[in-house]
Chains A and B, each alone.
Chain A
């Protein structure tokens, strides 16, 4: 196959570059400015909202860590990482079955998974709370992990099926003829090809867990088990809001996400698919 290096019409001309640059800058600005606002505010007394002082201080961060924020980070990490891993694994399994096989009730089951999503979460809280209370799953990692896994599966399955159908079954069959088991097919053929899709799905699941508030509020009442969103919401008091703490807490809530996903960003690289799907 000819190298894609030196096609003239593909090398962007100057005008094209400028237009794209303009769009890119505007987009980047809109995406990022609000976050910078929070970052700067987190170093100002009162979050920079109540007065326009230019002083910078670490006191907001000190306050939230003294209130136990370190523990919240740990809880969120444990619950969300485990839930994401379990949820993605189970979803990949289910999605593989849906995308590769025909079987009785396939349509029904698939619809059922999809349509679980049609319910607003608020009405699901009370019944689940009562059930959890009876099963002693309130204030437990296990309870939260199971909850988050359950609630991220439908979307994950649907997304993964969408990805998996683009990988032709012939690939699987070729490998099977060569003697591979289904599991080996998934692990050695599907995963490498679909890695960008898996990563995107896992990212979504993780972020859903990470910022989730309604269920965490209902199921975690002991301070040492709380997750980051609960810690954040606590600063919205009755008579006033501790804006400095809110800003600092927002930064702390967002930062670990970056640290986790920075190394993975590189995996979403183009071109690896071209050779495999032949």
Chain B
């Protein structure tokens, strides 16, 4: 009984806030998605159109392309790479060698820099570094790897890798630092036991370190997927969803429909579809996690 009171006290403040800030707008959006509300007509309200917005969305020729961009490039590629690099850097920072070289503290400090950089600044800087006479091209030409500068953000062959690069620069530090704190909670005696059993570095990693990190990796992975799938800023600021509509993703489509075409009803429908997709993904993911 005391427990019940305690649990309620612990959970109530958070739940109240979440209901107000998520619950209410979500229901409002659901309602709006069945109307043709326009930003210009906010005073008057919109007319009920039922499923028309959804039908239009699924039948639009661009839908598959946008979905592909969002799923494969924006989300899958960037999250997988983010976790790999984050893990790599965390492991690097945790090694003895780093402590010997006294680079550990400096590196942790350095990781804060990309993380603390607001996305627009990150995009601006990288756009400049990726210019035809920017640093990256100069370096590649200097190293003899290419002979002509590459228009990274204009060429459809390189535009997605460039966007992913910018996202990685801005988000890997979070993963790295989180995994680093997890790594540092691994008790020493586990490593010692492994050593006593004659394990190689790889085996130690696979059977001692990795299981310990798994919960954190799964958490970060899921959060990264949600956040990337819904992300708008990077694509918008780097290419404006271009060239043409090549890098259009769901979130930029929402922005275009809501704030350029003023079609709030239609963009709410896209938002609901995004939520359902992510919701389904989340459920599958958690099922998978339980079986591991």
Q: Which residues of A contact B (CB under 8 A)?
A: 1-2, 4, 7, 9-12, 16-17, 20-21, 23-24, 27-28, 30-35, 37-38, 49, 90-91, 93-94, 96-97, 101, 103, 109, 111-124, 126-128, 131, 146-147, 149-151, 153-155, 157-159, 162-163, 165-166, 182, 196-197, 199-200, 203-204, 207, 210-211, 213, 229, 232-233, 236, 246, 250, 253-254, 257-258, 261-262, 265, 268-271, 273-274, 277
Identity of the chain B residue whose Cβ is nearest the Cβ of A210 in the assembled complex: B116
Chain A interface SS verdict (over half): helix
Contact of A27 with B107 in the complex, beta carbons under 8 Å: yes
Q: Which 10 A-B pairs have the closest CB atoms?
A: A123-B271, A150-B21, A118-B278, A127-B28, A97-B10, A120-B230, A116-B22, A20-B97, A270-B184, A127-B25
Q: Which residues of B contact A (CB under 8 A)?
A: 3-4, 6-7, 9-11, 13-15, 17-18, 20-22, 24-26, 28-29, 32, 42, 89, 92, 94-98, 100-101, 103, 105-122, 124-126, 128-129, 135, 169, 173-174, 177-178, 180-182, 184-185, 187-189, 192, 195, 215-216, 218-220, 222-223, 226-227, 230, 232-233, 250-251, 254-255, 258, 264, 267-268, 270-271, 274-275, 278-279, 282, 286
Contacts known (A31-B110, A38-B121, A120-B230); A12 close to B97, Cβ less than 8 A: yes
Q: Which one of B14, B26, B98 lies within 8 Å of A20 (CB-CB)?
A: B98
Report B119 CB to chain A, min CB distance, Å: 7
Can you list 10 A-B contacts (CB < 8 A)? A17-B97, A17-B101, A20-B98, A21-B101, A28-B106, A118-B274, A126-B42, A151-B21, A236-B120, A258-B109
How many inter-chain contacts with C-beta < 8 Å in the A-B complex? 264
Contact of A127 with B125 in the complex, beta carbons under 8 Å: no
Other contacts beyond A109-B15, A236-B120: 5, CB < 8 A:
A119-B271, A122-B254, A163-B216, A273-B185, A274-B188
Contact of A16 with B4 in the complex, beta carbons under 8 Å: no
Contact of A35 with B215 in the complex, beta carbons under 8 Å: no
Complexed CA–CA distance, A66 and B187 (Å): 53
Contact of B17 with A159 in the complex, beta carbons under 8 Å: no
Report B152 CB to chain A, min CB distance, Å: 15
Complexed CA–CA distance, A94 and B6 (Å): 11
Complexed CA–CA distance, A112 and B173 (Å): 28
Chain B interface SS verdict (over half): helix
Contact of A12 with B119 in the complex, beta carbons under 8 Å: no
Contact of A196 with B268 in the complex, beta carbons under 8 Å: no
Complexed CA–CA distance, A153 and B15 (Å): 10
Complexed CA–CA distance, A90 and B32 (Å): 32
Complexed CA–CA distance, A148 and B98 (Å): 37
Contact of A265 with B108 in the complex, beta carbons under 8 Å: yes
Q: Which one of A127, A147, A155, A271 lies within 8 Å of B24 (CB-CB)?
A: A127
Contact of A118 with B230 in the complex, beta carbons under 8 Å: yes
Most buried by B among A49, A103, A126, A153: A126
- Please give, as numbers and ranges, the residues of chain B lying within 8 Å of A49 by CB-CB distance: 128
- Please give, as numbers and ranges, the residues of chain A lying within 8 Å of B21 by CB-CB distance: 124, 128, 146-147, 150-151
Contacts known (A24-B103, A122-B271, A265-B108); A115 close to B230, Cβ less than 8 A: no
Complexed CA–CA distance, A166 and B219 (Å): 13
Q: Which one of B98, B126, B187, B188 lies within 8 Å of A24 (CB-CB)?
A: B98
- Please give, as numbers and ranges, the residues of chain B lying within 8 Å of A90 by CB-CB distance: 13-14, 17
Contacts known (A27-B92, A232-B118, A257-B116); A101 close to B7, Cβ less than 8 A: yes
Contact of A31 with B22 in the complex, beta carbons under 8 Å: no
Contact of A31 with B111 in the complex, beta carbons under 8 Å: yes
Complexed CA–CA distance, A17 and B115 (Å): 27
Complexed CA–CA distance, A210 and B141 (Å): 38
Q: Which one of A27, A207, A265 lies within 8 Å of B115 (CB-CB)?
A: A207
Q: Which one of B4, B114, B215 lies within 8 Å of A162 (CB-CB)?
A: B215
